[in-house]
Structure 1
Amino acid sequence: MIVLTTPTGQIGRQTLDRLLAAEAPVRVVVREASRLPDAVRDRVEVVEGSHGDPDVVDKAFAGADSLFWLVPPDPRAHSLDAAYTGFSRPASVALRTQGVKRVVAVSALGRGTPMADRAGHVTASLAMDDLLAGTGVSYRALTMPSFMENLLRQTELIKKQGMFTSPISGNRKVPSCAIGDIAAVAADLLLDGTWSGVEEVPVLGPEDLSFDDMAQIMSEVLRRPVRFQQVPGADFKDRMMRLGTSEAMAQGLLDMALAKDAGLDNAVTRTAGASTPTSFRQWCEDVLKPAVLA
């Protein structure tokens, strides 16, 4: 039995689709079962509730062999520790008591770098990995750079003003990955019952690009000018807080961006195994272009 969290989120949904296509037995943890499509609900076991709840994870993990773990976003959390290790602590107890063998978790690049202890959400993700791996399970942390899909948050800005922004400088070449590729790597690991031990699995996409490079590619795909604008960190944090993000979580986002701008995501050597197939250009054709033109 494979337990999957966040089945209605972008990564969770696509991972679930792949598991069902392989006819694997799946149990999902979802806050509201009604959010699952009927065709999915008929093919999975459903445990309703939050996977941060001790009673829910006890029930969900019973008799399970493998777990897909993803902490849901909590922009209003009072601290990064509460959002990551605090949320995951009930699961760390249930992993021990219920005897789950393997965990595949969504995490981040950065372990071992000079920036890792001051990288906001990344630092919190790595602490979560330590908590869960410390239970004795076999553990695979999918370590990712920024997702291409993060740009969809700026769809209206791209559509109306022909620009997108970040605190990261426009000439810093970094990896980025598509959510569909993350789901493919996660599903392959969840379907494989032979691995053991604790390892990181980088998911780097096929190339390193700067935001200036991305702007050029977006311009070509959308057939309209798109430019990148670096914004001051203080302005970025203020905007996040105006949108409802807590001060702690907004600072975490800024610290993560500053660490990435200092080379956090460039520390892992790219290999064939870490290079996933979806290029930024293909992602723009398949995902960004329909969103902008809608």
Structure 2
Amino acid sequence: MIVITTPTGQIGRQVLGTVLATGKEPVRVIARDPSRLSPDVRERVEVVTGSHDRLDVLTEALDGAGAVFWVVPPDPRADSVEGHVLGFARPLCEAIADRGVQRVVGVSTLGRGWAGNAGQISAALAMDEMIEGIGVDYRALLMPGFMENLLQQAGVIRSQGVFFLTLSGDRRNPACATRDIAAVAARLLLDDSWSGQEGVPVLGPEDLSPNDMARIMSEVLGRPIRFQQLSGEAYKATLMRNGVSEAWAQGIVDMGAAIDQGLYRAQPRTPESTTPTGFRQWCEEVLKPAVAG
């Protein structure tokens, strides 16, 4: 039995689709709102209704499970970044110990060994440490920023021809597409031969700066797109004006500062960590329709 959290989320729905397509394992999902699952999916999975930060929900869902796909959903209104993330991880660890789950594949982040405060990244690393501390076999998927994060600015790209980050315009970093994260996760969930605890980097095929991204976006969209760097203070104020809590906004600013200082580049690229979807392909297949629509 494979248990999948966030089955309607960006990554979870793609993991679910891949695992179901193989037909190798029965699948159980945890869903706050099962009506968001397609009728076809609901016919092929067991559904446990509820939030996976609740021990009773996790205890029910993990009964008889061999592997779990684990994602902590963001909460931009949380009053503590680490409190939110570990508020999900604690009941997971208790339920794993109670139900004897063998393997967990978790969405985490690059940055292991980073000494400073990195906001949401630091919280995800604390989650990894908590899960590993109970001795379960664990594969933490170590990602840089998702290409899909740019979809949050699709309207601004459409109307103003600009996108904003706190990063330096010429600083190159890896970026990955959620389809590739899902592919790696599904492969691990369907493979019962691994054990122990390791990080699995998912780095995309190339390192790009925001200025590189602007050039590629301009070519794909057929119009000039420019990048504009915002100060941490300005970005935080913008987030808070849009309803993000001060703690979550500060975490995003701290995360951006750590990335700009080289957090993502500390992980060397290898053939195993290089995934196939390039930024140009992603722009053509995902960003362009979003901006047009």
Query: Shift of residue 292 of structure 1?
Result: 0.9
Query: Shift of residue 189 of structure 1?
Result: 0.2
Q: List alignment gaps of at least 5 residues for structure 1.
A: none
Report what 1:112 is aligned to: 113
Report what 2:254 is aligned to: 255
236-245 or 142-151: bigger deviation: 236-245
Q: Residues 266-277 of structure 1 correspond to what in structure 2 (within 5 A)?
A: 266-277=265-276
Query: Does the CA-based 8 Å contact 2:82-2:120 persist in structure 1?
Result: no
Report what 2:7 is aligned to: 7
Query: Does the CA-based 8 Å contact 1:8-1:35 persist in structure 2?
Result: yes
CA distance in 2, matches of 1:133, 1:20: 28
CA distance in 2, matches of 1:136, 1:95: 10
219-228 or 131-140: bigger deviation: 131-140
34-43 or 82-91: bigger deviation: 82-91
Report what 1:245 is aligned to: 244
Query: Shift of residue 136 of structure 1?
Result: 1.2
Write the letter of the residue equivalent to 1:56. V
CA distance in 1, matches of 2:161, 2:78: 32
Query: Does the CA-based 8 Å contact 1:138-1:198 persist in structure 2?
Result: yes
CA distance in 1, matches of 2:277, 2:82: 32
Moved over 4 A (4+): none
Query: Shift of residue 167 of structure 1?
Result: 0.6
Q: Secondary structure at the match of 1:290?
A: helix
Q: Secondary structure at the match of 1:42?
A: helix
Write the letter of the residue equivalent to 1:178. A
Query: Shift of residue 84 of structure 1?
Result: 0.6
CA distance in 2, matches of 1:87, 1:268: 27
Q: List alignment gaps of at least 5 residues for structure 2.
A: none
CA distance in 1, matches of 2:114, 2:250: 20
CA distance in 1, matches of 2:282, 2:95: 38
Q: Residues 1-294 of structure 1 correspond to what in structure 2 (within 5 A)?
A: 1-23=1-23, 24-114=25-115, 117-294=116-293
CA distance in 1, matches of 2:290, 2:81: 31
Query: Does the CA-based 8 Å contact 1:5-1:51 persist in structure 2?
Result: yes
Query: Does the CA-based 8 Å contact 2:70-2:105 persist in structure 1?
Result: yes
Q: TM-score, normalised by structure 2?
A: 0.99
Query: Shift of residue 113 of structure 1?
Result: 2.8
Write the letter of the residue equivalent to 1:229. Q
Q: Secondary structure at the match of 1:201?
A: strand
Aligned-residue CA RMSD (Å): 0.7
Deviation digits for residues 18-46 of structure 1 (CA, Å, limit 9, x no counterpart): 00001121100000111110000000000
Q: What is the aligned residue count? A: 292
Query: Does the CA-based 8 Å contact 1:113-1:267 persist in structure 2?
Result: no
Query: Does the CA-based 8 Å contact 1:66-1:100 persist in structure 2?
Result: yes
